[in-house]
Amino acid sequence: MEHLKTYNSKKHQATNVIIEGPVPSSTLENYIFHHDLTSFRPASKQFQALLDIAGLPDGRIIIARTEDTIIGYVTYLYPDPLERWSTFQMENLIELGAIEVIPEYRGSGIASSLLKLSMMDPFMENYIIISTEYYWHWDLKGTNLSIWEYRKVMEKMMASGGLLPAPTDDPEIISHPANCLMVRIGSHVTEDAIQQFETLRFLKRHQIRSFREGL
């Protein structure tokens, strides 16, 4: 599958922040990665991870920046080979791997703008996009929100990009009621791919059924 990427950009009116992407690694290298982007790992290591993703055929990096400083980003790429979601190696299934905005700009709509701009690329309609949300990754301390308050904010933000909660029997997700799978199915995704994804969402159920039918 050829992964076509169409660049878009816009100015976030409330903050004058530039939202743009997908951005190639050659462009990312020209920017400063803000030191407060540490939700997943130290800033320097996270910046290197973004550079690596941007260099992948399936990788997409959308950034928010003030002149030459990246203050937020969202990543898209194929699920990790060790994850459940790579089981069928679906070429049209990609994962929203991370979204982050520095504390100073949280609550201003930057994250929602990153998602909205992501979907401006018409090729995104060829993908099933997933995001696995686990409460232990949420910045509950920094936001002073409860788990359920954060979940509500997260759902609203994801909905701005068309991602909605979807049921699954994935053990990690069902290990806590606040965890969830978020899904967006593009308008050009085939019915066969949707059915395969349904099997993937309830993989344990299908494995049990296949086992029983084989007895």
Strands 180-185 and 93-101: unpaired
User: How is residue 17 written in tokens?
Assistant: 């922040």
Q: Mean per-residue pLDDT for 59-82? A: 97
As a whole number of angstroms, the distance between CA 26 and CA 70 comes to 14
Q: What is the mean pLDDT of the chain?
A: 94
Domain range enclosing 183:
8-214
Tell whether the model's pLDDT for residue 154 goes beyond 70: yes
Strands 8-12 and 17-21, how do they pair? antiparallel
* Residue at 2 is within a domain: no
Please check whether residue 171 lies inside any domain of the structure: yes
Q: What is the mean pLDDT of residues 142-158?
A: 94
pLDDT for residue 208 is more than 80: no
pLDDT digits (tens, 9 = 90+) for 159-201: 999 999 999 999 999 999 999 999 999 999 999 999 999 999 9
State the pTM of this model: 0.94
What percentage of the chain has pLDDT greater than the value 70? 96
**Strands, E assignment, the chain:** 8-12, 17-21, 32-33, 60-66, 69-77, 93-101, 128-133, 164-166, 180-185
Q: Is residue 55 part of a domain?
A: yes
Judged against a pLDDT cut of 90, whether residue 19 lies above it is answered with yes
Cα(214)–Cα(212) distance, integer angstroms = 5
Give pLDDT, residue 23.
98
Contact 200, 95 (CB under 8 A): no
**Residue 193: how many CB atoms within 10 A of its CB?**
20
- 106-131 pLDDT per residue, tens: 999 999 999 999 999 999 999 999 99
When divided into structural domains, the chain yields a total of 1
Q: Select from 121, 4, 118, 133 the least CA-distant residue to 61.
A: 118
Average pLDDT value for residue range 25-38 = 97
Residue 151 lies in a domain: yes
| 8 A C-beta contact, residue 98 and residue 38 | no
CATH number of the domain encompassing residue 120? 3.40.630.30
